[in-house]
Amino acid sequence: MELTIVGSGYVGTTVAACLADAGHRVQALDIDASIVARINAGESPIVEPGLEELIATHAGDRLVATSDYANLPTGNLTMLSIQTPTHDDGRIDVGPLAGAIESVGARLAEVLGPDDRHLVVIKSTVVPPALETLRTALAEGFGDASGTVELATNPEFQREGHAVEDFRFPQKIVLGVESSWAETLLRELYQPVIDAADPVVIVTDPPTAAMIKYANNAFLAAKISLINDIGNACKAFGVDAYEVADAIGTDDRIGARFLRSGVGFGGSCFPKDVKALQGAARDAGYDPMMLEAALAVNEHQPRRLVELLAERIELADARVAVLGLAFKPGTDDIRNSRAIPVIERLREAGATVVGYDPVATTNMRSRFPDIEYTDTASEALDGADGAVVVTDWDEFAALDDAFDAMADPVVVDGRRVIERRDGIEYVGLTW
Protein backbone atom coordinates (compact mmCIF):
# COMPACT_ATOMS: atom_id res chain seq x y z
CA MET A 1 0.00 0.00 0.00
CA GLU A 2 0.95 3.63 -0.33
CA LEU A 3 0.27 6.09 2.45
CA THR A 4 1.46 9.31 4.08
CA ILE A 5 2.04 9.75 7.79
CA VAL A 6 1.84 13.37 8.92
CA GLY A 7 4.00 14.09 11.98
CA SER A 8 7.42 12.51 12.56
CA GLY A 9 7.66 12.50 16.35
CA TYR A 10 8.15 9.44 18.56
CA VAL A 11 5.07 7.60 17.34
CA GLY A 12 4.88 8.87 13.74
CA THR A 13 8.49 8.05 12.89
CA THR A 14 8.33 4.58 14.42
CA VAL A 15 5.07 3.75 12.68
CA ALA A 16 6.36 5.11 9.33
CA ALA A 17 9.57 3.07 9.51
CA CYS A 18 7.79 -0.09 10.69
CA LEU A 19 5.11 0.14 7.98
CA ALA A 20 7.84 0.63 5.34
CA ASP A 21 9.59 -2.41 6.78
CA ALA A 22 6.32 -4.34 6.55
CA GLY A 23 6.37 -3.74 2.77
CA HIS A 24 4.34 -0.53 2.29
CA ARG A 25 5.48 2.64 0.55
CA VAL A 26 5.41 5.35 3.21
CA GLN A 27 5.80 9.09 2.89
CA ALA A 28 6.59 10.82 6.19
CA LEU A 29 5.50 14.45 6.27
CA ASP A 30 6.77 16.88 8.88
CA ILE A 31 6.98 20.66 8.78
CA ASP A 32 10.38 20.49 10.53
CA ALA A 33 12.94 20.47 7.69
CA SER A 34 15.71 19.08 9.90
CA ILE A 35 13.62 16.00 10.78
CA VAL A 36 12.82 15.47 7.09
CA ALA A 37 16.51 15.77 6.16
CA ARG A 38 17.52 13.26 8.81
CA ILE A 39 15.00 10.66 7.72
CA ASN A 40 15.96 11.09 4.06
CA ALA A 41 19.62 10.69 5.06
CA GLY A 42 18.74 7.35 6.66
CA GLU A 43 19.07 8.62 10.23
CA SER A 44 16.59 8.49 13.08
CA PRO A 45 15.38 11.82 14.48
CA ILE A 46 14.74 10.12 17.85
CA VAL A 47 16.48 7.58 20.08
CA GLU A 48 14.56 4.30 19.91
CA PRO A 49 16.14 0.84 19.78
CA GLY A 50 16.07 -0.68 16.27
CA LEU A 51 14.59 2.40 14.62
CA GLU A 52 17.74 3.79 13.01
CA GLU A 53 18.41 0.43 11.30
CA LEU A 54 14.90 0.42 9.81
CA ILE A 55 15.20 4.01 8.57
CA ALA A 56 18.69 3.36 7.16
CA THR A 57 17.37 0.31 5.30
CA HIS A 58 14.26 1.90 3.79
CA ALA A 59 15.06 5.63 3.39
CA GLY A 60 15.02 6.74 -0.22
CA ASP A 61 13.16 3.60 -1.21
CA ARG A 62 10.02 2.57 0.67
CA LEU A 63 10.38 5.47 3.11
CA VAL A 64 10.66 9.07 1.94
CA ALA A 65 10.17 12.25 3.95
CA THR A 66 8.83 15.62 2.86
CA SER A 67 7.73 18.96 4.32
CA ASP A 68 5.38 19.78 1.50
CA TYR A 69 1.64 19.12 1.64
CA ALA A 70 1.70 19.38 -2.18
CA ASN A 71 3.20 15.87 -2.13
CA LEU A 72 -0.07 14.56 -0.75
CA PRO A 73 -1.80 12.25 -1.22
CA THR A 74 0.04 8.99 -1.70
CA GLY A 75 -2.45 6.16 -2.10
CA ASN A 76 -5.82 6.56 -0.44
CA LEU A 77 -4.75 6.75 3.17
CA THR A 78 -3.27 9.60 5.23
CA MET A 79 -2.45 9.01 8.88
CA LEU A 80 -1.84 11.80 11.39
CA SER A 81 0.46 11.48 14.35
CA ILE A 82 0.71 15.08 15.53
CA GLN A 83 1.35 15.98 19.15
CA THR A 84 -1.52 17.21 21.30
CA PRO A 85 0.19 19.51 23.85
CA THR A 86 -1.16 19.83 27.38
CA HIS A 87 -2.70 23.08 28.65
CA ASP A 88 -1.94 24.15 32.24
CA ASP A 89 -5.24 22.64 33.38
CA GLY A 90 -4.30 19.25 31.91
CA ARG A 91 -6.70 19.45 28.97
CA ILE A 92 -5.16 18.67 25.59
CA ASP A 93 -4.72 21.21 22.83
CA VAL A 94 -5.88 19.69 19.53
CA GLY A 95 -5.00 22.92 17.68
CA PRO A 96 -1.84 21.62 15.94
CA LEU A 97 -3.60 18.37 14.97
CA ALA A 98 -6.67 20.27 13.72
CA GLY A 99 -4.37 22.57 11.69
CA ALA A 100 -2.69 19.55 10.07
CA ILE A 101 -6.06 17.94 9.28
CA GLU A 102 -7.23 21.17 7.70
CA SER A 103 -4.07 21.26 5.55
CA VAL A 104 -4.58 17.62 4.53
CA GLY A 105 -8.24 18.37 3.71
CA ALA A 106 -7.33 21.42 1.64
CA ARG A 107 -4.80 19.45 -0.37
CA LEU A 108 -7.18 16.53 -0.89
CA ALA A 109 -9.83 18.98 -2.15
CA GLU A 110 -7.38 20.06 -4.87
CA VAL A 111 -6.71 16.58 -6.18
CA LEU A 112 -9.55 14.20 -5.40
CA GLY A 113 -12.22 13.63 -7.99
CA PRO A 114 -15.88 12.75 -7.30
CA ASP A 115 -15.18 9.02 -7.62
CA ASP A 116 -12.15 9.03 -5.29
CA ARG A 117 -12.27 7.95 -1.69
CA HIS A 118 -9.70 8.76 0.98
CA LEU A 119 -9.24 7.71 4.59
CA VAL A 120 -7.80 10.15 7.15
CA VAL A 121 -6.63 8.17 10.17
CA ILE A 122 -6.00 9.88 13.50
CA LYS A 123 -3.23 8.07 15.36
CA SER A 124 -2.69 10.89 17.89
CA THR A 125 -4.25 10.37 21.31
CA VAL A 126 -7.42 12.47 21.40
CA VAL A 127 -10.35 12.52 23.81
CA PRO A 128 -13.62 11.44 22.12
CA PRO A 129 -15.27 14.91 22.22
CA ALA A 130 -12.28 16.36 20.29
CA LEU A 131 -13.24 14.31 17.25
CA GLU A 132 -15.95 16.86 16.44
CA THR A 133 -13.33 19.64 16.39
CA LEU A 134 -11.24 17.51 14.03
CA ARG A 135 -14.22 16.81 11.80
CA THR A 136 -14.83 20.56 11.60
CA ALA A 137 -11.17 21.13 10.73
CA LEU A 138 -11.41 18.60 7.91
CA ALA A 139 -14.48 20.39 6.59
CA GLU A 140 -12.64 23.75 6.80
CA GLY A 141 -10.04 22.34 4.44
CA PHE A 142 -12.08 20.05 2.24
CA GLY A 143 -15.62 21.35 2.35
CA ASP A 144 -18.33 18.72 2.58
CA ALA A 145 -16.24 15.54 2.92
CA SER A 146 -19.14 13.10 3.00
CA GLY A 147 -18.75 10.25 0.56
CA THR A 148 -15.17 11.23 -0.32
CA VAL A 149 -13.05 11.64 2.79
CA GLU A 150 -13.70 9.57 5.88
CA LEU A 151 -12.18 9.88 9.38
CA ALA A 152 -10.93 6.95 11.43
CA THR A 153 -9.04 6.59 14.71
CA ASN A 154 -6.29 4.07 15.29
CA PRO A 155 -4.58 4.57 18.67
CA GLU A 156 -1.09 3.34 19.39
CA PHE A 157 -0.01 1.40 22.47
CA GLN A 158 3.77 1.41 22.01
CA ARG A 159 6.03 1.89 24.99
CA GLU A 160 9.04 4.16 24.69
CA GLY A 161 12.21 2.14 24.39
CA HIS A 162 10.24 -0.82 22.99
CA ALA A 163 8.32 0.98 20.26
CA VAL A 164 9.59 -1.07 17.30
CA GLU A 165 9.07 -4.37 19.10
CA ASP A 166 5.61 -3.27 20.31
CA PHE A 167 4.63 -2.25 16.77
CA ARG A 168 5.69 -5.61 15.36
CA PHE A 169 4.17 -7.73 18.11
CA PRO A 170 1.14 -5.87 19.45
CA GLN A 171 -1.38 -7.58 21.72
CA LYS A 172 -4.19 -5.65 20.08
CA ILE A 173 -4.91 -3.40 17.11
CA VAL A 174 -7.78 -0.98 17.58
CA LEU A 175 -9.60 0.34 14.52
CA GLY A 176 -12.17 3.11 14.96
CA VAL A 177 -13.97 3.19 11.62
CA GLU A 178 -17.24 4.32 10.07
CA SER A 179 -17.47 1.88 7.14
CA SER A 180 -16.43 -1.59 6.08
CA TRP A 181 -14.35 0.09 3.35
CA ALA A 182 -12.24 1.82 6.03
CA GLU A 183 -11.96 -1.41 8.04
CA THR A 184 -10.75 -3.33 4.97
CA LEU A 185 -8.18 -0.66 4.17
CA LEU A 186 -6.78 -0.64 7.71
CA ARG A 187 -6.77 -4.43 7.95
CA GLU A 188 -4.78 -4.50 4.69
CA LEU A 189 -2.35 -1.97 6.20
CA TYR A 190 -1.78 -4.11 9.28
CA GLN A 191 -1.96 -7.49 7.52
CA PRO A 192 1.81 -8.18 7.84
CA VAL A 193 1.61 -7.52 11.61
CA ILE A 194 -1.61 -9.53 11.95
CA ASP A 195 0.04 -12.46 10.14
CA ALA A 196 3.20 -12.29 12.24
CA ALA A 197 1.84 -11.56 15.72
CA ASP A 198 -1.82 -12.62 15.62
CA PRO A 199 -3.05 -9.69 17.73
CA VAL A 200 -6.68 -9.22 18.73
CA VAL A 201 -8.17 -6.83 16.15
CA ILE A 202 -10.84 -4.65 17.72
CA VAL A 203 -13.13 -2.92 15.23
CA THR A 204 -15.34 -0.18 16.61
CA ASP A 205 -16.39 3.41 15.97
CA PRO A 206 -13.89 6.31 16.13
CA PRO A 207 -14.84 7.73 19.58
CA THR A 208 -14.80 4.28 21.21
CA ALA A 209 -11.36 3.55 19.75
CA ALA A 210 -10.13 6.91 21.05
CA MET A 211 -11.53 6.09 24.50
CA ILE A 212 -9.91 2.64 24.55
CA LYS A 213 -6.51 4.33 24.46
CA TYR A 214 -7.36 6.54 27.44
CA ALA A 215 -8.97 3.72 29.37
CA ASN A 216 -5.90 1.55 28.78
CA ASN A 217 -3.48 4.17 30.06
CA ALA A 218 -5.74 5.32 32.91
CA PHE A 219 -6.15 1.74 34.09
CA LEU A 220 -2.40 1.07 34.09
CA ALA A 221 -1.65 4.40 35.79
CA ALA A 222 -4.33 3.71 38.42
CA LYS A 223 -2.91 0.20 38.92
CA ILE A 224 0.48 1.72 39.75
CA SER A 225 -1.11 4.28 42.08
CA LEU A 226 -3.16 1.58 43.79
CA ILE A 227 -0.10 -0.57 44.46
CA ASN A 228 1.66 2.59 45.69
CA ASP A 229 -1.25 3.36 48.02
CA ILE A 230 -1.18 -0.20 49.32
CA GLY A 231 2.62 -0.01 49.44
CA ASN A 232 2.55 3.06 51.68
CA ALA A 233 0.18 1.23 54.02
CA CYS A 234 2.44 -1.86 53.92
CA LYS A 235 5.41 0.28 54.93
CA ALA A 236 3.41 1.74 57.83
CA PHE A 237 2.65 -1.82 58.99
CA GLY A 238 6.27 -2.98 58.54
CA VAL A 239 5.20 -5.26 55.68
CA ASP A 240 7.09 -5.68 52.37
CA ALA A 241 4.83 -4.44 49.54
CA TYR A 242 6.78 -6.46 46.96
CA GLU A 243 6.06 -9.72 48.73
CA VAL A 244 2.39 -8.75 48.85
CA ALA A 245 2.43 -7.74 45.15
CA ASP A 246 4.03 -11.03 44.11
CA ALA A 247 1.28 -12.89 45.90
CA ILE A 248 -1.68 -10.92 44.56
CA GLY A 249 -0.16 -10.94 41.06
CA THR A 250 -0.78 -14.70 40.89
CA ASP A 251 -4.52 -13.95 40.77
CA ASP A 252 -5.05 -13.63 37.04
CA ARG A 253 -7.84 -11.13 37.62
CA ILE A 254 -5.12 -8.83 38.99
CA GLY A 255 -2.09 -9.91 36.92
CA ALA A 256 1.56 -9.81 37.86
CA ARG A 257 2.65 -6.83 35.78
CA PHE A 258 2.55 -3.15 36.77
CA LEU A 259 2.67 -3.98 40.46
CA ARG A 260 6.06 -2.41 41.13
CA SER A 261 5.40 0.14 43.84
CA GLY A 262 7.74 3.07 44.34
CA VAL A 263 8.20 6.67 43.37
CA GLY A 264 5.41 6.61 40.76
CA PHE A 265 4.79 6.90 37.03
CA GLY A 266 6.19 9.48 34.64
CA GLY A 267 6.63 9.72 30.90
CA SER A 268 4.77 11.35 28.07
CA CYS A 269 1.58 9.29 28.33
CA PHE A 270 0.33 8.28 31.76
CA PRO A 271 0.32 11.67 33.54
CA LYS A 272 -0.83 13.53 30.43
CA ASP A 273 -3.53 11.08 29.43
CA VAL A 274 -4.98 10.72 32.91
CA LYS A 275 -5.21 14.52 33.24
CA ALA A 276 -6.68 14.90 29.75
CA LEU A 277 -9.31 12.24 30.43
CA GLN A 278 -10.14 13.85 33.78
CA GLY A 279 -10.50 17.28 32.12
CA ALA A 280 -12.63 16.02 29.25
CA ALA A 281 -14.88 14.03 31.59
CA ARG A 282 -15.32 17.13 33.81
CA ASP A 283 -16.27 19.16 30.73
CA ALA A 284 -18.83 16.49 29.92
CA GLY A 285 -20.31 16.68 33.44
CA TYR A 286 -18.57 13.85 35.31
CA ASP A 287 -15.69 14.28 37.74
CA PRO A 288 -13.73 10.99 37.80
CA MET A 289 -12.78 10.19 41.39
CA MET A 290 -10.37 7.34 40.77
CA LEU A 291 -8.40 9.40 38.27
CA GLU A 292 -8.11 12.21 40.82
CA ALA A 293 -6.82 9.71 43.36
CA ALA A 294 -4.37 8.14 40.88
CA LEU A 295 -2.85 11.57 40.23
CA ALA A 296 -2.80 12.48 43.92
CA VAL A 297 -0.96 9.28 44.92
CA ASN A 298 1.51 9.85 42.10
CA GLU A 299 2.31 13.31 43.46
CA HIS A 300 2.59 11.92 46.99
CA GLN A 301 5.26 9.29 46.22
CA PRO A 302 8.17 11.66 45.42
CA ARG A 303 7.24 13.75 48.48
CA ARG A 304 7.31 10.62 50.65
CA LEU A 305 10.70 9.62 49.22
CA VAL A 306 12.20 12.94 50.31
CA GLU A 307 10.42 12.78 53.69
CA LEU A 308 11.96 9.37 54.41
CA LEU A 309 15.38 10.88 53.82
CA ALA A 310 14.52 13.98 55.88
CA GLU A 311 13.52 11.71 58.80
CA ARG A 312 17.12 10.45 58.84
CA ILE A 313 19.33 13.38 57.84
CA GLU A 314 19.10 17.15 58.10
CA LEU A 315 18.48 18.21 54.49
CA ALA A 316 19.57 21.84 54.88
CA ASP A 317 23.10 22.07 53.46
CA ALA A 318 23.25 18.30 52.96
CA ARG A 319 24.75 16.92 49.76
CA VAL A 320 22.20 14.51 48.29
CA ALA A 321 22.83 12.18 45.34
CA VAL A 322 19.84 11.63 43.04
CA LEU A 323 20.43 8.37 41.18
CA GLY A 324 18.40 8.26 37.97
CA LEU A 325 16.87 11.22 36.13
CA ALA A 326 15.05 9.52 33.22
CA PHE A 327 11.35 8.69 33.73
CA LYS A 328 12.20 5.01 33.33
CA PRO A 329 15.29 2.99 32.40
CA GLY A 330 16.25 2.61 28.74
CA THR A 331 15.43 6.18 27.72
CA ASP A 332 16.86 9.68 28.00
CA ASP A 333 13.32 11.06 28.25
CA ILE A 334 12.71 13.12 31.41
CA ARG A 335 9.13 14.18 30.65
CA ASN A 336 7.23 13.97 33.95
CA SER A 337 10.14 12.06 35.48
CA ARG A 338 9.63 11.65 39.21
CA ALA A 339 13.19 12.98 39.54
CA ILE A 340 11.79 16.47 38.84
CA PRO A 341 9.58 16.77 41.97
CA VAL A 342 12.26 14.95 44.01
CA ILE A 343 14.92 17.50 43.00
CA GLU A 344 12.52 20.40 43.56
CA ARG A 345 11.71 19.27 47.11
CA LEU A 346 15.31 18.56 48.00
CA ARG A 347 16.26 22.04 46.86
CA GLU A 348 13.35 23.62 48.73
CA ALA A 349 14.68 21.92 51.85
CA GLY A 350 18.08 23.51 51.28
CA ALA A 351 19.97 20.44 50.04
CA THR A 352 22.73 20.51 47.44
CA VAL A 353 21.62 18.11 44.71
CA VAL A 354 24.05 15.97 42.73
CA GLY A 355 22.32 14.23 39.82
CA TYR A 356 23.45 11.19 37.89
CA ASP A 357 21.89 9.30 35.00
CA PRO A 358 23.62 7.20 32.32
CA VAL A 359 21.84 9.02 29.45
CA ALA A 360 19.39 11.69 30.64
CA THR A 361 21.78 14.26 32.11
CA THR A 362 21.72 16.55 29.08
CA ASN A 363 17.93 16.72 29.15
CA MET A 364 17.78 17.30 32.90
CA ARG A 365 20.45 20.00 32.66
CA SER A 366 18.06 22.12 30.61
CA ARG A 367 15.39 21.65 33.32
CA PHE A 368 17.76 22.24 36.26
CA PRO A 369 20.83 24.05 34.89
CA ASP A 370 22.28 24.87 38.30
CA ILE A 371 22.48 21.54 40.09
CA GLU A 372 25.61 19.43 39.97
CA TYR A 373 25.80 16.46 37.58
CA THR A 374 28.36 13.65 37.56
CA ASP A 375 29.51 11.19 34.89
CA THR A 376 29.20 8.17 37.15
CA ALA A 377 26.99 7.09 40.03
CA SER A 378 30.09 6.60 42.19
CA GLU A 379 31.09 10.25 41.76
CA ALA A 380 27.57 11.33 42.78
CA LEU A 381 27.77 9.22 45.93
CA ASP A 382 31.29 10.34 46.82
CA GLY A 383 30.99 12.50 49.95
CA ALA A 384 27.17 12.57 49.82
CA ASP A 385 25.15 12.83 53.05
CA GLY A 386 22.30 10.86 51.56
CA ALA A 387 21.11 9.27 48.31
CA VAL A 388 17.76 8.62 46.67
CA VAL A 389 17.11 6.17 43.83
CA VAL A 390 14.54 7.44 41.34
CA THR A 391 15.04 5.34 38.18
CA ASP A 392 15.49 1.55 38.11
CA TRP A 393 18.65 1.43 35.99
CA ASP A 394 20.30 -2.01 36.33
CA GLU A 395 23.71 -0.48 37.01
CA PHE A 396 22.50 0.82 40.39
CA ALA A 397 22.11 -2.76 41.59
CA ALA A 398 25.86 -3.26 41.13
CA LEU A 399 27.10 -0.17 42.98
CA ASP A 400 28.34 -1.99 46.11
CA ASP A 401 31.55 -0.27 47.26
CA ALA A 402 30.47 3.13 45.93
CA PHE A 403 28.27 3.61 49.01
CA ASP A 404 31.35 3.39 51.24
CA ALA A 405 32.50 6.76 49.87
CA MET A 406 29.38 8.51 51.18
CA ALA A 407 29.83 10.86 54.13
CA ASP A 408 26.65 9.42 55.64
CA PRO A 409 25.48 6.25 53.86
CA VAL A 410 21.70 6.74 54.02
CA VAL A 411 20.00 5.42 50.86
CA VAL A 412 16.28 5.79 50.18
CA ASP A 413 15.35 3.52 47.29
CA GLY A 414 12.29 4.54 45.25
CA ARG A 415 12.49 1.62 42.81
CA ARG A 416 13.75 -1.40 44.77
CA VAL A 417 17.00 -1.75 42.87
CA ILE A 418 19.57 -1.56 45.67
CA GLU A 419 20.29 -4.64 47.81
CA ARG A 420 20.13 -4.16 51.57
CA ARG A 421 23.68 -4.56 52.81
CA ASP A 422 25.91 -3.93 55.79
CA GLY A 423 27.44 -0.49 55.99
CA ILE A 424 24.49 1.46 54.58
CA GLU A 425 21.26 2.57 56.15
CA TYR A 426 18.88 1.27 53.52
CA VAL A 427 15.28 2.54 53.37
CA GLY A 428 12.74 1.17 50.87
CA LEU A 429 9.90 3.48 49.87
CA THR A 430 7.18 0.85 50.27
CA TRP A 431 9.05 -2.08 51.80
The set of catalytic residues is 269
What residues form DSSP beta bridges with 110?
Answer: none
| CB of 397 vs ligand UDX, minimal distance in Å | 15
- Region from 60-68, 143-151, 158-166, 188-196 binding ligand UDX, contact rule CB under 6 A: 158-166
Q: Is 258 in the site for ligand UDX (CB under 6 A)?
A: yes
| CB of 276 vs ligand UDX, minimal distance in Å | 13
Query: Which one-letter amino acid corresponds to residue 160?
Result: E
Q: Is the dihedral of CA 211, 8, 268, 15 positive or negative?
A: positive
Contact 46, 83 (CB under 8 A): no
Pairing of strands 63-66, 25-29: parallel
Q: Which of 262, 279, 386, 414 binds ligand UDX (CB under 6 A)?
A: 262
Q: Is 265 in the site for ligand UDX (CB under 6 A)?
A: yes
What residues form DSSP beta bridges with 413?
Answer: 389, 428
Contact 42, 60 (CB under 8 A): yes
Task: Give whichever of 339 and 384 is closer to ligand UDX, judged by the CB atom.
Answer: 339
Q: Is 269 in the site for ligand UDX (CB under 6 A)?
A: yes
Task: Give whichever of 142 and 265 is closer to ligand UDX, judged by the CB atom.
Answer: 265
Task: Give whichever of 141 and 262 is closer to ligand UDX, judged by the CB atom.
Answer: 262
Contact 402, 378 (CB under 8 A): yes
| CB of 217 vs ligand UDX, minimal distance in Å | 6
Distance CA 77, CA 18 (A): 16
Q: Which of 10, 270, 393, 396 binds ligand UDX (CB under 6 A)?
A: 270
Q: Which of 14, 158, 225, 430 binds ligand UDX (CB under 6 A)?
A: 158
Residues 186, 188, 191, CA angle at the centre, nearest 5°? 110
Q: Is 259 in the site for ligand UDX (CB under 6 A)?
A: yes
Task: Give whichever of 73 and 302 is closer to ligand UDX, judged by the CB atom.
Answer: 302
Query: Which one-letter amino acid corresponds to residue 255?
Result: G
Quickly count: other Cβ atoms within 10 Å of residue 110's Cβ.
Answer: 11
x/- track of binding to ligand UDX for residues 298-337 (CB under 6 A) = -----------------------------xx---------
Contact 100, 79 (CB under 8 A): no
Q: Is 159 in the site for ligand UDX (CB under 6 A)?
A: yes
Q: Which of 48, 102, 150, 160 binds ligand UDX (CB under 6 A)?
A: 160
What residues form DSSP beta bridges with 63?
Answer: 26, 59
Quickly count: other Cβ atoms within 10 Å of residue 284's Cβ.
Answer: 10
Residues 288, 291, 294, CA angle at the centre, nearest 5°? 155
Burial of 309 (0-12, 13-18, 19+ CB in 10 A): buried
Q: Is 393 in the site for ligand UDX (CB under 6 A)?
A: no
The interface with ligand UDX within residues 188-227 (CB under 6 A) comprises: 217, 224
Q: Is 69 in the site for ligand UDX (CB under 6 A)?
A: no
The residue ranges that bind ligand UDX (CB under 6 A) are 157-160, 217, 224, 258-260, 262, 264-267, 269-270, 327-328
